[in-house]
Amino acid sequence: MKKLIFTIGICFTVMLAKAQLGYNYAQYDVGAAAALNYAYTDAETIKGTPAVHLNFTYNHTPFLNYIAEVQLGRLAGGDSLLTLSGRQFKNNYTAVSFRAQIQAGEFLDYENRTIFNALKNIYLSAGVGVMYNNMSEINRTSLYIPDFTSPGRNTSSEVFIPVKVGYEFKIFNSYNEPNIKVDLGYQYNYVLGDQLDGIKAGVRKDMYMQFVVGVKFAIGGFTSYRKSLTK
């Protein structure tokens, strides 16, 4: 009798596991990304500069995510020789942020629908962060306008609002669990101050945008979703 009960228990467990195949996901991810930055500030010319993102994600569901992120990068702009103001800067910055992210799969009925299934990984994300600016190079004086100098600080901290849109490609393991995620995104960062370039001028706040390519890896805390993730 004990053997019979044990065998039935094993069969029931296997059946339950098979029933959940394609529904399981990891609640935690770690990831990294490379970004190309463009800063829009009081400096007249815009330059592309690199950044690296490191992130930790809590997946409330496969399509509702909370992301803590650190950015290490550089922003640059201006030209002391080719612009009337002479403004030019290089900013080696560090930023920390928290974002909530919603993917279309959270509200789309995508099961067995080819188009919706392809659209389910589109996401929108927004949050808040703080960036720490350090000007490694700065010019505030014009070569062409006598006594023209722009005020500003060489170091500062600024609150910013990140808004990101993109697409997350999910790669599944042999258990149909999404264990690798490739992220293609565009991020707009609105800075609530005017010291991103070390120059305070005009009435417009600074901002920078980023084109981001990243990868995330599932690290555990597996649980089940209410519907299949693979179709």
Lowest mean pLDDT among 2-6, 132-136, 164-168: 2-6
Would you kindly state where each structural domain of the chain is located, as residue ranges?
2-222
What average pLDDT does the chain have?
90
- What is the rounded average pLDDT of the residues 173-189? 95
Q: Quote the pLDDT of residue 1.
A: 58
Q: Quote the pLDDT of residue 112.
A: 80
Q: Quote the pLDDT of residue 22.
A: 58
Q: Quote the pLDDT of residue 2.
A: 52
Sign, CA torsion 161/66/179/166: negative
The percent of residues above 70 in pLDDT, for the chain, comes to: 90
- What is the rounded average pLDDT of the residues 54-76? 97
The percent of residues above 90 in pLDDT, for the chain, comes to: 78
CATH topology of domain 2-222: Porin (2.40.160)
Work out the pLDDT band at 74, boundaries 50, 70, 90. Answer: very high
Of 142, 156, 213, 155, residue with least CA distance to 181: 213
